[in-house]
Structure 1
Amino acid sequence: MESYIPSKVVCLFLVQFDVKVGYKLVWSKSTKEDFLTDTTSSNIEYKVLPSGLQEVSSSTILISHEYKGKLYFGLSQFHQNEDELQVATGGAGVDRTQVKMFALGVICDNEQDSWKPNEFLHVGWEYGLLLKDKLLALFASTDDDGSGALNDANKSLLEQLYLTLTTTGDTSVSNNSYESQYHPLKQLPQYFRILGPLVYQVYKQALLRKKILVVNHHHENMNYTICAFNYIISLCSVIPFDVQAQLKQTIEKYTKGDPASARTINAEFYSTPLYNIGLHDIPSLPHHPGYIALTNDEMMMYQRGVFDILVYLDQEYPKIILCDAISNMTLPGASQYLKASHHEYEDYLAVFQHINSGSVLEPQLWWSQDATQSIGWQEYIWSAFSWFASAGQEQPGNEQYCPLMKDSEDGDAVEEREEGDADADADTESIDDDAQDATATTDVPEPAEINTGSSGSTGTTLVGEPMEPPHLIPLNDLSIVDLIGRFHKRTRRLFYYINEIVMETIEYQLQGDDVGSYDANNTLHQLNSRVVIELTYQDVHEAGFDPYMALELEFLRQFVLLYWEPLVLDVEIGLGVQGICC
C-alpha cells in the first residue's frame, strides 16, 4: 500500500496572549523569507487564538494565510493554564496576570492539484496530536515568573520541532498513528447536526459560487468543528471532473470560432475555504472570487461587499441571510431567512437517520419550524393532481425527491428526455466510481490506516480537541466518502439534466423554420445570438426542486446563467402544460 505523505510544513510559530501587552508573535521560523513578518501578510497572532479566549481552556483552530499572492493553510493548538493554577491554589482564586496563554501552530504548503479539495486539505491536520503534546511540554518547561518568556529549554524544543517538521516531516509518527479526529471530514456528523436541513441551502449557494461568510457565534467550544465546516462545504459543492468536461464540451461545440464567447470558467468549479478572517483580511478577499470564509468577528457581518450570503451560527439555531437583507447594523427578522424546501427536509431526515444512532438525538423542532419552508396550497394541489394523473402509482413524499439516499435513480429525469439516454446511463454508472474518486482525491486514508476514535491519543487531553459527539455514531471512512459522493451525485444529476435542455433548445433554434437548410456545423456565433431557456414547472419538479418555492426557482435561474452564460441569455420559468392546477 502506498505510504501516506503528510502536509508539507513551511512555518512553525508560537503566539502568546499577554494580559498586559495583548497579542504577540513570540517565536516563528519558516522556510520562506518574511513569511509571518512581512507587513502585507501579518496579523497571524489574531487568527490563531479563539474568540473569548479567557473563557476557553483549550482549542484547535484552522487558519488561512496569504503570502505573496498565494494562499496557505494551517492548524494551531491553543491552551491556557488557568485550570492548573486553580488546582494549585486549592480553588482560592487565580491572579490573571499569572495565567499563560499560548497557541502553537504550523502553516503548510498547499501544492497545486487538479482536484482542488486536495489543495484545501493541506491544513496540517496530521500534526494536531503532535502540536498538542509539544504545547503541553512547553507549558511544563516555561518559567513560572508570570512573564511567559521563552527560556532555553523552550527555544530548543521549538527548534527541534521545526527541524523535524520541515526536513523529513513527522517521521516519528507512523501512518497508522495520525489522529483521524483532526481530519476535517470527521466533523461531517456535526455539520449535519448543527446546520440541520440548511446543509442543502448552503450547498446550493456554494454551487452558485456566492461569497459565503460563516460567523461563529456558537457558545460551545467548537472552534475546530466549525472551522472544518468550510472544507466540507467546499468539498460537497465542487464540480466533478466528468461534469466539468461535459460542460466545456457543450460550450465549445456551440461557440466554435467565436472569440467573444470564450471565457475561463475554472474559477466556477469550486469555492475556496478561508479560515478565521478578520477586518484586516478584507483587502485580500477580492483575490478569491468565490469563497467560504469563517470569522469570529461579528463586525464582519456589517461590511458591505464582503459577502453575498451570511451563515450565522448561534446557540439557538443557524440562520442563512442574504447580504442585502442586513441594514443599519441589524439582522433581519425570521421571515427573511433562507430556508430549506420541504423535500430537502425529508431528504435530510433520511440522511440524518444514516448517521444518528437513534438512541439519544431525536429530530429537532427547529429543523421543520425554523429551517424549512412550509408547504403552500399550490403544492398540495400539485401532489394530488400528480397522484391522480399517475393512477395512484406516484406517491407524494420524499422518495421522488431523495437523490442523496437513492443509488439507482440518478439521471432518471434525464432519461425521460429523448436525447439524454446516453448521458443518463453514463451518469448512473459513474456513481460508484464517484465514491472511489472521493476516496482517492480527498486524502482520506484507507480504512486500514485510519483511527476512527481517539485511542491513539497520549498525554493530557485538551478540552477543546475535536471529539465524536455521543449521540452520533462514529462514521468509518467509507461512510464519510459515501455521504460526500451523494452530494456529487446530486450535482451530476442537475448538470446533466440542465445541459440536455440547453442543447435541445440550441439545436431547435439552429434548425430554424427551414429544417431543410439546417447545417449541423452551425454555431451560435453564426446565428449571432444566445438562447432563452424555458423551464416548465414539470422540468423543475423532475430536476428535484420545489416548483412552488420562489427561492428554488431563483436558484435554478442563477445556476443556468452562471454555468451556461456563453450560450444562454435568459431563463424563463412558466407553468407549461402541467400548470392547470395553478
Structure 2
Amino acid sequence: MRQFTRTLDMRYNPKPYDFEIQEPSHKVPLCCIFLCQFDVKKGNTLIWSKKSTETSDISLGNIEFKCIPSGIHELEKDVVSFVIPKGENLVEVYYGVSCFQQNGQSLSRNVSHVDRGKVQMFSLGVIVDASFRYKGVSKSKFYDWKPNQFISATEYIDDLQELLSHWLKRQNLGQDFSLFENYFEANRFKADSAMLSSPILQHSWQNAGKFTTNSLLQEKHPHMLESLSQWLEYLGPLMFPLWKACITRQRVLIITGNGVSFEKTNSLVYCLSILSLIPRIISDKLKDSPLQPLYCIGISDIDDLERHVAASMSTNDETYEITGFIACTGDEILESRSELYDVCLKIHGRDALPEITTSNGDYLKATPHELELYEKLVSNSLGYQLSQNEKEKVFRLVEPTTWSQYLIDGFYWWATAGYMRPSFHEPEDKVIADLDRDNLEIVISLVGYFHEKTLLLYNSLKQVVEASTEDTVVVSPIFLATVGLDCFSSGDYAFLNKVCQKWFDRELLVRNVDCTLLC
C-alpha cells in the first residue's frame, strides 16, 4: 500500500457529503507510558511504567496482555491499539497504542535451533485521555470530533517505534529507562500546559537522549483509514453486511488469524466505524453516536465486556439495547462467548476467504445484489474489472439466488431476448475510475459512497414513514431496490425493519414479492 505523509482528518465540511483534510495542532498529552516484556519463564509482564499525577487513577491491570496479545509472537514488529474503560461501560474510555518488536524472527534465520534465552520481546506503549480539552489543556477543536478522538493515541506511533529501537540497541536493558522518562516528561499531561513540544528522536541512536522538533526526519506513519481500499479488496461484497451491522450499532468482533497484523485489523476496526458514521446533514436529526472502536481485546477484557452487557440490561426499560462496539482479538476462544457480540468476522490471512457468523452461529453472506454493487464499486472506485478467478472467489461469499429472482430473471431473458433486465438489478454501465488517482482520493470516495448510501436510506425511509398512517409502515419489495438493498433477501427485510425502528421508532413490514417487480 502506498503511504502518504499527510494526516487524514475526515471532518465534515458544511457541504453535505464533502470532507476536509486537516492535521491536529498538536498531540494529546500523555497520561501514561509503559514498557512490557514477554519472558519465556514469566510470560507477559509489565516491567516499567510512569503516570501523570493528574491522571494517576488509570488502571494498568492486564496492560501486558493488551499490548502483547495472543498471536503477535509470530510477527517481528507490529502496532497494537487498545482502550481502557473509565467506568462500568465502554462508552467513555482512555485510548492507548503500543509498538511491539522482537528479535526471535532474526535469530531463527538460517539456524535449526534458537536459544530461547536470547529472545527479546518488548512492547512500548502510551495512554491518552481524548477528552483532555474539556479540562482546560488546549483550545484546539480537532479532538472535539469523536472519530479524531478514536485515533488520538496513534499520533505517537512514530516516536514509540524510534524510542524502542534506540533503547533496544543499548546494552543495559531493564535497568535504564531514562530515555522513556525524558520523553514522557516532554509530552505528559500537565494541568497548566497549553501546548506540547511533541518531540521525536534524532536518528543517530548514540544521541538518543536528545530531542528535536524537526518532523521531516521521517515519513509520518500512515493513517488507519488509508487501508480502506485494501480491506475492500479483501472482504469483497462482505463489506456491505458489515456496514449494515455497524449502521445498526451492533457489537462486531473480528477474529485475527495467525500471522495477521494487529495494526491492519485495528485499521479495519476504525474504517468500519468511519463508514457507519451518520452524515452531518442528518446527524442532528438522528442523534446517533459513532460506533465505538475498542480495537484489540482479549481474554483479560471479558470482565469489562460482561459489565458492559450488564449495565445495559440493568435499565428499567424492557426494550433495552446493548450499546454497540467494534473490536478485534487474537483469542479465538472469544468466539464461543456469543453473549458478548452480535456479529463475528473471522480473518484467516490474505489467501483465505473471510467469513462472518452471527452470535447464533448462522453464517452471514452478502446478497446477490451486493455482489453487483461490489463489482460496480471496484470498477468506479478502484479502477479495474474483476477477473474470472476473482469472480469465482467472491461468489463463495454470496447467498444463492432465490427462486423468485431466478424466475423473474428468466422471464425477462425470455420476453426480451436477453436485451433487458429487471429494474432491481444494478445498471450495467462499466465506468473505469481514473487510474491516476492516489490512494487518498480513493479512500475519500469510498467513505463518501457509504455515507451517501446511509443518507439515501434515511431520506427514503423518512418519506414512507411520514406518508404512512398505520402503526406499521408497509413497503413493497421494489422499495428495497430504490435504497440499494436486495428485493428478495429476508435478511435485508429484517435490516430495513431494524433501521426503521432505530431511526423512526416505527415497525416496518415488507410485502411478499409481487408482480410489480416485473414492471
| TM-score (norm. length: structure 1) | 0.69
Match of 1:162 in 2: 184
Aligned match of 1:126 in 149, 155, 161? 155
Q: SS where residue 349 of structure 1 aligns? A: helix
Instruction: Report the Cα offset of residue 182 of structure 1.
Output: 3.3
Aligned residue for 1:372, secondary structure, equals coil
Match of 2:76 among 53, 57, 61: 57
1:353–1:278 CA distance, 2 compared to 1 (3 A): same
Matches within 5 A, 1:210-221: 210-217=250-257, 219-221=258-260
Structure-2 residue corresponding to 1:445? none
Matching residue within 556, 559, 573 for 2:499 = 559
Corresponding residue number in structure 1 for 2:203? none
Please tell me whether the aligned partners of residues 409 and 421 of structure 2 are also in contact (alpha carbons under 8 angstroms): no
The 1:344–1:176 alpha-carbon spacing in structure 2 relative to 1, beyond 3 Å, is farther
Q: Structure 1 561/307 Cα, relative in aligned 2: closer, same or farther at 3 Å?
A: same
Contact 1:196–1:367 (Cα < 8 Å) also in 2: no
Aligned residue identity for 1:242:
I
Report the Cα offset of residue 477 of structure 1: 2.6
- Matching residue's letter, 2:441: L
Which residue in 2 is equivalent to 1:532?
A: 472
Change (3 A) 1:382 1:361: closer
Going from structure 1 to structure 2, the CA distance change for 1:278 and 1:32 (only over 3 Å counts) comes to: farther
With over 3 angstroms needed to count, the CA separation of the structure-2 counterparts of 1:115 and 1:394, relative to structure 1, is farther
Report the residue type matching 1:557 in the other structure: N
1:29 maps onto 2:56 in alignment = no
Residue correspondence of structure 1 range 344-355 to structure 2 within 5 A:
344-353=370-379
Contact 2:76 2:103 in 1 (8 A): yes
d(CA) in 2 for partners of 1:220, 1:354: 32
Q: Secondary structure at the match of 1:546?
A: coil
* 4+ runs deviating over 4 angstroms: 32-37, 83-87, 173-181, 354-363, 383-389, 391-398, 579-582
1:30-109 equivalences under 5 Å are 30-31=51-52, 35=56, 38=59, 42-68=61-87, 70-85=92-107, 91=111, 93-109=113-129
Deviations 1:189-219 (A, max 9, x none): 22112211101110001111111111111x3
Whole-Å separation in 1 of the counterparts to 2:328 and 2:517: 46
Contact 1:381 1:581 in 2 (8 A): no
Asked whether the 8 Å contact 2:31–2:55 carries over to 1, the reply is no
Q: Which amino acid aligns with 1:16?
A: Q
Task: Indicate conservation of the 8 Å contact 1:321/1:338, yes or no.
Answer: yes
Q: Find the partner of 2:34 among 3, 10, 13.
A: 13
Relative distance call for 1:11 and 1:37 in structure 2 (3 A) is: closer
Distance change >3 Å, CA 311–CA 169, structure 1 → 2:
farther
Q: Is the 8 A contact 1:126 1:178 kept in 2?
A: no
Question: Residue 227 of structure 1: CA displacement?
Answer: 1.0
Residue 8 of structure 2 is matched in structure 1 by: none
- Tell me by how many angstroms 1:474 deviates: 8.6
Q: Deviations over 1:70-115 (max 9, x none)?
A: 312222111112345457xx84743102211100112222238664
In the alignment, structure 1 residue 141 sits paired with structure 2 residue 170: yes
Give CA deviations for 1:5-52 in whole Å, capped at 9, x if unaligned: 2431322111111111111111111225675873xx511110111433
| 1:322 counterpart = 2:369 | no
How far apart are the structure 2 equivalents of 1:305 and 1:134? 40
**Amino acid in the other structure paired with 1:302:** S
- Matched with 1:494 is 457
Q: What amino acid does structure 2 have at the position aligned with 1:372?
A: V
Match of 2:319 in 1: none
User: Which stretches in structure 2 are left out of the alignment for 5+ residues?
Assistant: 1-20, 135-142, 190-195, 200-211, 312-321
Distance 1:487 1:178 in 2: 33
Selected match of 1:377 from 399, 403, 415: 403
1:246, distance to aligned residue in structure 2 (A)? 4.1
Cα separation, 2, equivalents of 1:546 and 1:116? 32
Q: 1:301 matched to which residue of 2?
A: 335
Does the 8 A contact of 1:190 with 1:225 survive in 2?
no
Percent identical pairs in the alignment equals 26
**What's the CA shift string for 1:509-552, capped at 9, x where partnerless?**
6xxxxxxxxxxxxxxxxxxxxx2100111212222211111111
Q: Which one-letter code corresponds to 2:404 in the other structure?
A: Q
Structure 1 pair 557–397 and aligned structure 2 pair: CA distance change class (3 A): closer
Q: Where is the helix percentage greater, Structure 1 or Structure 2?
A: 1
Post-superposition Cα deviations, 1:369-407, rounded to whole Å, max 9, x if no partner, equal 321122223224444667979x977676864499xx999
1:571 equivalent to 2:508? Answer: yes
Which structure 2 residues correspond to residues 394-543 of structure 1 after superposition, within 5 A?
399-400=426-427, 475-506=438-469, 531-543=471-483
Give the aligned length.
Answer: 447
TM-score normalised by the chain length of structure 2: 0.77
The 1:360–1:199 alpha-carbon spacing in structure 2 relative to 1, beyond 3 Å, is: closer
The question of whether the paired residues in 2 share the 8 Å contact of 1:59 and 1:221 is answered with no
Contact 1:16 1:24 (8 Å CA) reproduced: yes
Mark the CA change 1:282 to 1:475 in structure 2 (over 3 Å): closer, same or farther.
farther
SS in structure 1 at match of 2:278:
coil
Q: Residues 75, 173 of structure 1: CA spacing in aligned structure 2 closer, same or farther, 3 A cutoff? A: farther
Match of 1:364 among 384, 390, 409: 390
Tell me, yes or no, if the aligned pair for 1:273 and 1:291 is still in contact at 8 Å.
Answer: yes
Q: Shift of residue 118 of structure 1? A: 2.1
Q: SS in structure 1 opposite 2:456?
A: helix
Aligned partner of 1:572: which letter? L
Q: CA shift at 1:116, angstroms?
A: 2.5
Identify if the C-alpha distance between structure 1 residues 58 and 49 changes in structure 2 by more than 3 Å, giving closer, same or farther: same
Give the structure 1 partner of residue 209 of structure 2: none
Question: In the alignment, does 2:227 pair up with 1:227?
Answer: no
CA contact (8 A) 1:357 1:473 kept: no
* Pair 1:290 & 2:310 matched: no
Q: Is the 8 A contact 1:355 1:473 kept in 2?
A: no
Matched residue SS, 2:485: coil
Q: What secondary structure does 1:170 align onto?
A: coil
Distance change in 2, residues 1:573/1:174 (3 Å): farther
Q: Structure 1 counterpart of 2:332, which letter?
A: E
Displacement of 1:139 in angstroms is 0.8
State how far apart, in whole Å, the 2-side matches of 1:272 and 1:151 are: 38
CA displacement at 1:318 relative to structure 2: 1.1
3-state SS in 2 of match to 1:59:
strand
Change in CA separation of 1:304 and 1:545 when aligned onto 2, cut-off 3 Å: closer
Q: For 1:158-237, what aligned pairs fall within 5 Å after superposition? A: 158-166=180-188, 168-171=196-199, 172-173=212-213, 179-217=219-257, 219-237=258-276
| 3-state secondary structure, aligned to 1:17 | strand
Larger Rg: 1
- CA apart distance, 1:151: 2.2
